[in-house]
Every structure is written in structure tokens, then in C-alpha cells.
């Protein structure tokens, strides 16, 4: 008998909402409960019965957007860091997770560290069996969000591998984007609580102050210098202040404009894309995952918009380095397609890589 099992409800084998279930020490602990991609897609929890707790890695929709399913799961308490908890809807029994250090979930020890990906976001290492590491989404490259590398070994590692075998650096991403930043009016539909402020900081650091924000971006940048400061890199205050001072509201096509949401399905970017889809200006660049049947998908297909990835997940070499440190006897790559399995298996050897729906702990 092992220490328990990890059930991969959703998010492994195909891009989809995050939802996993740890069963150990007589407890059933859900890790994340997302919605999409694509928008509207929820994990199938119909036959799961009740769970004892939900633990949230960070506040992005594909990790927390399924909270309305909690009633069907026995309305358990929700564990989240303070920064993530503040962004959640009311009506849940919230319990604390540290942003870094040691805590507990239903009496089970958990170590956390910042994930370099989102305000309040953490990876989680549970003291179950030889250790269970769940990274949620993570990145080692962010110029805004700080990252604390997991150092403890874990026998099972459930790792964000959103980019599969992709290997380009953030520097290369900037080199691709830079010519468009200098050329004329540019609209970047972005998540305000993710890569939006990161890209804006990079634009500013390269000397461009002709920057325009929607309300969501203005608020997010203020929060990074205020209530979410603990998730940001140490030396960031001056840059954040300069960015807030430079950014003006979006009106006409001008400078570099940042607006949420990332795929244009909601928020200011939805309206701006409707307004400018059939105009020659501004240039439009999408930088994140492109779900089918979204304005992002439509405008890229028609040639009106470009796609240039901005890294917010690990490259293959980042995943390989983490696996070397953690030395798991099972690696579960999450948030990528099953077709990536052979490449990941080769790159992460000798660690066994699996996408089986139930993994022994």
C-alpha cells in the first residue's frame, strides 16, 4: 500500500481547466478547480462525491474559475494565500496558505514558495509519503513576479508543462516584440494579473514611455506595488512607480496599449477589438494561449493580429532542471497535450513520466 493516490481529474493529456484530487491520510484534497480553456469548460466532478478541502495554487481562471462547483463537492474549506483570497468571490470558508514557508492543510504539512507567475501564486509541496509537489503554473523568467525554486525532494511531481518541449527564452520573446513596439500604435490584449504588467515593465525598461492602460491594468500595477507587493521581485518599486506615472488611459490608437482580457472575450480588450478589427491601426499582438472560438483566434486566423508568445510558463530546460533537483519517481506533465509525452519522456529521463489518470503516492 502506498501513501495514497493522486487522481488527475482535468488538466493532463490536453489543455483544460486544472483539477486534481489527492487522497491520503484519510483526506480528499482537491488541487485547483478551474474553468477553461476553452471558455466555459469545467472539470467533470459529477461522480467525485464530497471532498475535504480545496487548495488553490493561484487566482487565474483556469485554476479557480470552477468554484461554483464546490456545493456539489460538499462545500469544503478553501485554502489560498491572502493575495489570492482577496480576489475570490465571497461565500467560501477561507483558510490561509503561506506565500512561502510551512503551513498545513487539514493537518497535513505543506511547504510553499512563490511561483514567479501571478500575484499570490505558489507551488505546493505536501508531506505525504516521499513528498508530493504540485507547481500550479510557474516561471523562472519573470521580471516582475518572484520565484522561489522548490528544493525538497518529492516522490511524485505534478508539473506545469504548458509549453511542452518549447525552449525559447524571454529575451527572444522580447526581440520578436520589440520591432512592433517601435513601429506605431500597438494593442496588446493581456491578463492584468499575469503577463500584462510584466510586458509593460519591459517596454518601459527599453525606454518607451508612450504607454496606455485600461482600468484593469492600472489597478493591477498599483496592487503589485501595494497589497500584492510580496509577490514581486525585491528591486521593483521604482520601476512600478515609473510605470504608473507613465501610463495614460486608452482613447485613440496611440503608443503601446495594454488592455484585459487576454483573448478579447471580455473586458476593455473586447470593446477595443470590436472597434479596431476592421481598421488598419493599431497593430494587434496576442501573447498567450489561443483558445478556439475566441476573438484572439479569429483575428489571428484572419491575419489582422499577430501571435508572439510571452513566456509565463517554464521552458523544457526549466522543467528538466526542477526534475533533477526534486528527483521524483513519477513526473506528471500538466497543461499540455498528450502528443508531448514522448519528447518530455526523453528530456526528463531517467525520471518516469506518466499521464495515467491515477498515480500511486
- Which grid coordinates are listed for 271? 470593446
CB 335, min distance to Zn ion, A: 9
CB 117, min distance to Zn ion, A: 6
Distance of alpha carbon 264 from alpha carbon 274, whole angstroms: 9
Residue 28 or 195: the one with the smaller Cβ distance to Zn ion is 195
Residue 48 or 220: the one with the smaller Cβ distance to Zn ion is 220
CB 26, min distance to Zn ion, A: 31
Residue 60 or 95: the one with the smaller Cβ distance to Zn ion is 60
CB 221, min distance to Zn ion, A: 18
- CA torsion through residues 217, 142, 36, 123, sign: negative
Residue 212 or 335: the one with the smaller Cβ distance to Zn ion is 335
3-state secondary structure of 20: strand
Residue 137 or 198: the one with the smaller Cβ distance to Zn ion is 137
Q: Is residue 172 left, alpha or beta, with left meaning phi > 0 and alpha meaning psi from -120 to 50?
A: alpha
Q: Are strands 122-126 and 108-114 parallel, antiparallel or unpaired?
A: antiparallel
Nearest to 168 by CA among 312, 323, 15, 338: 312
Rule CB under 5 A: which residues touch Zn ion?
60, 137
Element (H, E) at 334: strand 330-334
- CA torsion through residues 45, 46, 48, 53, sign: positive
Residue 137 or 214: the one with the smaller Cβ distance to Zn ion is 137
CB 235, min distance to Zn ion, A: 24
CB 11, min distance to Zn ion, A: 11
Report CA-CA distances (Å) from 122 to 138, 147, 205.
8, 9, 27
Distance of alpha carbon 282 from alpha carbon 255, whole angstroms: 9
Report CA-CA distances (Å) from 273 to 38, 62, 296, 316, 354.
19, 23, 9, 33, 41
Cβ contacts of residue 109 below 8 Å, gap of 6+? Answer: 102, 103, 126, 127
Residue 88 or 180: the one with the smaller Cβ distance to Zn ion is 88
Residue 258 or 335: the one with the smaller Cβ distance to Zn ion is 335
Nearest to 318 by CA among 55, 123, 32: 123
Amino acid at each position: 500500500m502506498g501513501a495514497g493516490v493522486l487522481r488527475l481529474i482535468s488538466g493532463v493529456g490536453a489543455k483544460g481547466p486544472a483539477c486534481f484530487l489527492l487522497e491520503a491520510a484519510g483526506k480528499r484534497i482537491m488541487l485547483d478547480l478551474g474553468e477553461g480553456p476553452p471558455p466555459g469548460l469545467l472539470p467533470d466532478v459529477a461522480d467525485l462525491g464530497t471532498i475535504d478541502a480545496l487548495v488553490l495554487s493561484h487566482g487565474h481562471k483556469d485554476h479557480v474559475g470552477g468554484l461554483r462547483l464546490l456545493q456539489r463537492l460538499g462545500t469544503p474549506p478553501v485554502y489560498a494565500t491572502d493575495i489570492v483570497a482577496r480576489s475570490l468571490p465571497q461565500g467560501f470558508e477561507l483558510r490561509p496558505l503561506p506565500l512561502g514557508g510551512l503551513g498545513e492543510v487539514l493537518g497535513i504539512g505543506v511547504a510553499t514558495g512563490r511561483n514567479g507567475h501571478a500575484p499570490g501564486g505558489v507551488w505546493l509541496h505536501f508531506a505525504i509519503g516521499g513528498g508530493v509537489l504540485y507547481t500550479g503554473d510557474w516561471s523562472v523568467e519573470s521580471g516582475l513576479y518572484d520565484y522561489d525554486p522548490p528544493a525538497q525532494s518529492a516522490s511524485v511531481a505534478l508539473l506545469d508543462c504548458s509549453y511542452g518541449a518549447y525552449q525559447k527564452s524571454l529575451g527572444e520573446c522580447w526581440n520578436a516584440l520589440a520591432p512592433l513596439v517601435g513601429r506605431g500604435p500597438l494593442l496588446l490584449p493581456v491578463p492584468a494579473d499575469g503577463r500584462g504588467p510584466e510586458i509593460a515593465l519591459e517596454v518601459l525598461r527599453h525606454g518607451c514611455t508612450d504607454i496606455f492602460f485600461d482600468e484593469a491594468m492600472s489597478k493591477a500595477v498599483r496592487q503589485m506595488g501595494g497589497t500584492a507587493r510580496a509577490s514581486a521581485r525585491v528591486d521593483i518599486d521604482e520601476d512600478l512607480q515609473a510605470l504608473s506615472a507613465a501610463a495614460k488611459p486608452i482613447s485613440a490608437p496611440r503608443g503601446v496599449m495594454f488592455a484585459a482580457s487576454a483573448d478579447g472575450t471580455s473586458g476593455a480588450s473586447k470593446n477595443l477589438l470590436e472597434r479596431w478589427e476592421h481598421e488598419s491601426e493599431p497593430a494587434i499582438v496576442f501573447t498567450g494561449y489561443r483558445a478556439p472560438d475566441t476573438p484572439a483566434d479569429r483575428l489571428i486566423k484572419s491575419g489582422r493580429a499577430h501571435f508572439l508568445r510571452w513566456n509565463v510558463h517554464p521552458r523544457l530546460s526549466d522543467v528538466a532542471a526542477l526534475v533533477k533537483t526534486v528527483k521524483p519517481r513519477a513526473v506528471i506533465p500538466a497543461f499540455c497535450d498528450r502528443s508531448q509525452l514522448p519528447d518530455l519522456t526523453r528530456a526528463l529521463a531517467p525520471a518516469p513520466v506518466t499521464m495515467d489518470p491515477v498515480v500511486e503516492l
